[in-house]
Amino acid sequence: MWSVKYDQWIAAAEQAFLALHHRCSAVYVIGFSMGGVIAVYLAEKYPVTKLVLLSAAFYHSQPRRPPLLHVSGSGG
Question: Domain extents for the chain?
Answer: 6-54
Residue range 18-25: mean pLDDT, rounded: 97
Q: What is the pLDDT of residue 17?
A: 97
- Summarize the confidence of residues 57-67 as an average pLDDT: 63
Which long-range CB contacts under 8 A does 24-29 form with residues at least 24 apart?
A: 26/50, 28/52
Backbone angles phi, psi at 17, to 5 degrees: -60, -50
pLDDT, position 2: 78
Given a cut of 90, whether residue 29 has pLDDT beyond it is yes
Cα 53 from chain centre:
7
pLDDT of residue 18: 98
